Amino acid sequence: MSKIKKTKEERKKEIIKAACRLFAKKGYYNTTIPDIAEELGMSVGNLYNYFHSKEELAKYIMQYSSKLLGDEIRKINEENISTKEKIYKIVRKFFEIGQEQPELIEYFLRVFLSNREVFEEGCEGFLCVQEVVTELMLFLEEGARKGELRQQDFFPAFVTLMGPLGGMVFLQGENVLPKKPIEYSDELAENIWRALKAD
Amino acid sequence: MPKVRKTVLNRVEGEIQLKLVWEKGKVKDAFIIAPNFRGFEFILEEKPALDALVINPRICGICGHAHLIATTKAIENLYENAGLKIDVPKNAKLIRDITLGAEIIQNHLRWFYMFVMPDFLKLEKSKKLKDFEPIKGYKWQKAVDFSSRIVKVIAIFGGQWPHTSYSVPGGVVCDPTTFDLTEAKSIVDSVVGFAQQEIFGMDIEDYLSVSSEEEYLKKSKNSDLKKFIFMCKKHQLDHAGKSYHRFLTVCDMEYAFSKGITKKKRRNFYVEKVREIDSYSYLTENGFSFDKNRYSWAKAVRYNGLPYETSPLSRRINSREKLFINLLKHYRDSYMVRMWARIDEIARMLYAMKMWIESIKPSEPFYIPPPADIKEISGKGVGLCEAARGSLIHQLTVEKGIIKKYNIITPSTWNLGPRCEKYLSPAEKAITGIDSQLKAEMILRSFDVCSVCTTH
Amino acid sequence: MKTLLWIQGLSCNGNTQSLLNAENPFFYEIFQKIKLIYHPSFSYRENLQTIIKKVKEEKIKINFLVVEGAVTSDKRFHKIGDYSVAQILEILKDRADYIIAAGNCASFGNIPATFSHNPDVTGLQFRFVQKEGFFPPDFKTRSGYPVINIPGCPMHPAWFTQTITALLEGKKVILDQFNRPKELFMYLPHDGCTRNEYFEWKVESEEFGHKEGCLFYNLGCRGPMTHAPCNKILWNRISSKTRAGMPCIGCTEFNFPLRENFFETKKNMGIPEEVPLGVSKRAYITITGVAKTLKNKRLMVKLEETD
Ligand code: SF4
Ligand code: SF4
């Protein structure tokens, strides 16, 4: 049983990779389920066994990436280290994932953020990216509770943390970054820390 | 040689000791000792101002609600003095009056049947009064039932009684439905029924138009008030227990009473003329002192230098209520008149409660948020309120939302505080000249003794 | 007949007043089953000094000793006749089957124990969270129970009358870690609050004066973090603070008066510092995130305007 299940999970991962590649290349609307099946060398019928529609697949990718990143931040959250160190680690982790699975980040920027209508139902607000948001809330709450971060509303703090990361990935996508994003990691983390830390 | 005897008084709210100096069978001097102290005014220092809404009701388990209203008003006054007046919605003012009215009725019912009538059991030693026996007596039980029923009105609007903090700067927290109001009204009606049947022996609206003792005795059927009046006369309590014949009331309540001070004539009340004197109090300007001559945790309170009684009787007199102006002419401020005024207030409050409930408009607001966060407010505020026992004054000084100083003057401090260099307190004065220990205690109880408020 | 003796320490007498509101049984009904040998507010022939003397001479037996109010031995701040309340407790402690702390002051010290000029003030067996009350931590009355705490500021009359009734009938009363009757204090005011749906769907009151909205997120409600059955056994058999629109202030807990800003929820970066009992912060954030995005339309309008 577990063996089959594992294969199914792995299969899903492959589908995600292929779909991401195509969405990025051809655009979300120009990509069809048969295109994805073909890319994977899989029958269309079989692909429908995994996902009933393109929308479902699109949402699943978001949830999958959110879980992936969320789990990583959770590990950092549970470490017994200072808030400053956590910021450094979270930033580095983000770029590491970006390096290992660039299609996910690409997908987030080019599909998720630019085709919000696809995600209207069942993915309102933060729902698809719940894990990441939850972990960041916990992180910010703890930092403020310990007095290491300045008290403020959640949203400005959240944007201060996530905005620079997105910006970096965007610049990389536009091919204007002289170095790899991960090489800017510590500098960026320092900026974020200074912006958020308690006076 | 004068003989000195100190007794502990039961059947009061809390503990009070009475030290009497006897000479030739009469009380030559009386000291009312309030020996217990919890330090509320100290505890409030450095607390966020709004927390006073939670702390202060806990000064007193029987009139805590009045402390809540006084606190609310003091904070609202603080806003006003800071140039940010809060326009408290009419509905909220009405609900505050209704709940305060309910607390006052509750108090007077419990006080009369539980604290006062047992004195007559001792005095009369007759079987006729067995209905008034604590716990067993039918009347005692009815007093429990109806005093508990009337506070259900507070629970409707404030969630519970005792000790809710439902009144806040800007209004009240509740938002009642039409049916909450009809239920409140039904509760009042049932207590009116009890009051007519047992206490007054006549319709309360008719009672409220009575203008003399003769008229009342003629019109009313057998009733507890009537019984009480006869017993007072029998034991010469109709003329005993006179105090200074000076009366103070610090605020109005529509349909119920008006504020003012009465010495010979009625005048306006000015809070600036209120002074506390600590020469016989353990509390002093700079802390505590237990010097020999000091004997109470309360301070003496004086208006324009003089002691005043504050009480339901004061409210009747300052409202120029005909019945009481007449009683006063005849008996002055005696035990019987002071007590009658308390019982009388049950009728007046019930009537007013009905009017207040009628005036509420459920579709209009019960709360408006104050114009600024309390953390931005500095300055002083005074809250005035008429509690069951009389005038209650709260004064606070706040810096950026934090309490720097809090001062509470309760009705019992006015009436039962210690003496100053010149005058005994109103209750001490009322006791002097009395010829029996029991009567001395009864006269003290006629001020509705609340030790927890006296000293807080 | 079993007997009950009631004494008062540093208190506001609110528990006595609350007890007078009892229903099923009513105040006078319970005292037909138990003989009230002394209560400062109701006794009119007896005086405490004589009663204490008779107790010492074993002419009077005490089954229930009820204490309302906090304890101090400093007679400058509190006296009953010539005794301190501490002295009376010393005399009576081994002569009662049960000792019951009526209300938060007797249970945990409460407001009187925050008065810095009298550091000697305690509850009977606790001083706030610590077992540093007047009696030692291992103190038990001759029935084998420690001091039974019935906190609340004030206590609800039914909490008291039902505890007494159960003990009278020889039933076992299970206590929680703060020696409160478990079967009462296993509930939270949150259980049964009329604002529960608003809590679930995260429709939060921004201000007072509305039937609608939950008081948790902005107005400091302690309903989900307090042990008390206030919305199961209603107050005055009518309502409760949270139903009326007032945030629960956690008055049955050991730390009740130590907290500050009762009408405000302490938040960090917009997230409540304390979350409902039994829920991890992660779970709370996840659930609220979901609830906030999936709206319940019925809760978005005034109740009068719902379908
Ligand atoms: S108001 Fe308080 S008790 Fe009621 S649902 Fe909200 S959090 Fe719970
Ligand atoms: S709702 Fe909260 S504050 Fe109110 S009585 Fe219950 S426990 Fe105490």
For residue range C86-130, list pLDDT tens digits in order.
999 999 999 999 999 999 999 999 999 999 999 999 999 999 999
Categorize the per-residue pLDDT at B75 as very low, low, confident or very high, splitting at 50, 70 and 90: very high
Q: Which amino acid is at B269?
A: F
Name the token pair of B232.
Answer: 């007072």
pLDDT for A173: 81
Please identify, by atom number, the ligand 2 atom nearest to the C-alpha of residue B164: 4
Domain contains A87 = yes
Range A90-109 average pLDDT = 88
For residue range A129-173, list pLDDT tens digits in order.
889 999 999 999 999 999 999 999 999 999 999 999 989 988 888
Range B397-406 average pLDDT = 98
CATH number at residue C267: 4.10.480.10
| Residue C216 CB contacts under 8 Å (≥ 6 apart), including other chains | C199, C204, C223, C224, C265, C272
Q: Which amino acid is at A58?
A: A
Longest dimension (CA), chain A: 59
Range B428-444 average pLDDT = 95
> Number of helices (H) and strands (E), helices first, in chain A?
9, 0
Give B60's contacts in chain C (Cβ within 8 Å).
Answer: 12-14
Q: Which residues of C206-229 are buried (b: 16+ CB within 10 A; e: fewer)?
A: ebbbbbbbbbbbbbbbbbbbbbbb
For testing the chain C interface, which of A138, A150, A159 should be mutated: the one with the most C CBs within 10 Å?
Answer: A138
Domain contains A103 = yes
* Contacts with C, A 105-144, CB within 8 Å: 124-127, 130, 133-135, 137-138, 140-144
pLDDT for B177: 97
Distances (CA, A) of C136 to A97, C103, C124: 59, 19, 9
Measuring from atom 6 of ligand 1, which residue has the nearest CA? C214
Residue that terminates a domain, selected from C137, C158, C181: C181
pLDDT for A27: 84
For residue range C234-262, list pLDDT tens digits in order.
999 999 999 999 999 999 999 999 999 99
Q: Is the per-residue pLDDT at A122 higher than 70?
A: no
Would you give the DSSP letter of residue C70?
B
Q: Is the per-residue pLDDT at B320 higher than 70?
A: yes
Which percentage of chain B shows pLDDT scores above 70?
99
Q: Is the per-residue pLDDT at A36 higher than 50?
A: yes
Range B107-120 average pLDDT = 95
Which chains have 3+ CB pairs within 8 A of B?
Answer: C
B347 vs A100: which has the higher pLDDT:
B347
Categorize the per-residue pLDDT at C24 as very low, low, confident or very high, splitting at 50, 70 and 90: very high
CA of B110 to the centre of ligand 2 (A): 25
Domain contains C140 = yes
- Contact call for A134 and C282, based on CB within 8 A: yes
B176 vs A58: which has the higher pLDDT:
B176
- Contact call for C249 and B114, based on CB within 8 A: no
Per the structure, the count of domains in chain C is: 2
Same domain (yes/no): C85, C205? no
The ipTM estimated for the assembled molecules is: 0.97
Closest CB to C240 among B144, B159, B175: B159
Q: Is the dihedral of CA C219, C225, C228, C234 positive or negative?
A: positive
For residue range C257-293, list pLDDT tens digits in order.
999 999 999 999 999 999 999 999 999 998 998 888 8
Kindly tell me whether chain A and chain B come into contact, counting contact as 3+ Cβ pairs under 8 Å. no
Range B262-266 average pLDDT = 94
Please work out, in degrees rounded to the nearest 5, the angle formed at the alpha carbon of residue C165 by the alpha carbons of C160 and C167: 100
Per the structure, the count of domains in chain A is: 1
pLDDT for B358: 97
Range B347-368 average pLDDT = 97
Same domain (yes/no): C201, C64? no
The DSSP code sequence of B67-107 is HHHHHHHHHHHHHHHTT------HHHHHHHHHHHHHHHHHH
pLDDT for B13: 59
For residue range C152-192, list pLDDT tens digits in order.
999 999 999 999 999 999 999 999 999 999 999 999 999 99
Q: What is the span of the domain harbouring residue C111?
A: 3-181
CA of C228 to the centre of ligand 2 (A): 7
pLDDT for B454: 78
Domain contains A132 = yes
- Contact call for C270 and A138, based on CB within 8 A: no
Measuring from atom 1 of ligand 2, which residue has the nearest CA? C248
- Contact call for C208 and B12, based on CB within 8 A: no
Mean pLDDT lowest among A47-61, B179-193, B433-447, C170-184 = A47-61
CATH number at residue C148: 3.40.50.700
Distances (CA, A) of C235 to A79, C67, C157, C229, C244: 46, 22, 9, 10, 11
Q: Nearest-CA distance from B62 to chain C in Å?
A: 6
Domain contains A134 = yes
What whole-number distance in Å separates Cα of residue B185 and Cα of residue B197?
A: 18
Same domain (yes/no): C158, C92? yes
Q: Global pTM?
A: 0.93
- Contact call for B145 and C26, based on CB within 8 A: yes
Q: Is the per-residue pLDDT at A186 higher than 70?
A: yes
Residue that terminates a domain, selected from C163, C181, C199: C181
H or E stretch including C184?
helix C182-185
In chain C, whose CA is at the least distance from the CA of B364? C209
Which percentage of chain B shows pLDDT scores above 90?
92
CB atoms within 10 A of CB B348: 25
Q: Is the per-residue pLDDT at A1 higher than 50?
A: no
DSSP H helices, B295-450, are 312-318, 322-331, 335-359, 411-416, 426-431, 437-445
Range A68-95 average pLDDT = 96
CA of C176 to the centre of ligand 1 (A): 23
Mean pLDDT lowest among B36-45, B117-126, C144-153 = B117-126
Question: So where are chain B's domains?
Answer: 3-455
Q: Is the per-residue pLDDT at B169 higher than 70?
A: yes
Ligand closest to Cα of C232 equals: 2
Q: Which residues of B290-300 are buried (b: 16+ CB within 10 A; e: fewer)?
A: eeeebbbbbbb
Domain B3-455 is in which class?
Answer: mainly alpha
CB-defined contacts B:C, below 8 A: 216
Q: Is the per-residue pLDDT at A89 higher than 90?
A: yes
pLDDT for A80: 96
Closest CB to C269 among A133, A135, A141: A141
Domain contains A9 = no
Q: CB–CB of B168/B367 below 8 Å?
A: yes
Closest CB to B159 among C17, C207, C246: C246
Residue that terminates a domain, selected from C143, C163, C181: C181
CB-defined contacts A:C, below 8 A: 55
Q: Is the per-residue pLDDT at C32 higher than 50?
A: yes
Q: Is the per-residue pLDDT at A24 higher than 60?
A: yes
Range C49-78 average pLDDT = 95
Q: What is the span of the domain harbouring residue A142?
A: 53-196
Range B304-319 average pLDDT = 98
Same domain (yes/no): C132, C199? no
By residue count, chain B amounts to 456
Domain contains C305 = no
Same domain (yes/no): C24, C163? yes
Give C290's contacts in chain A (Cβ within 8 Å).
Answer: 127, 130
Q: Ligand 2 site: residues with CB under 6 angstroms?
A: C 152, 189, 226, 228, 230, 240-242, 248-252
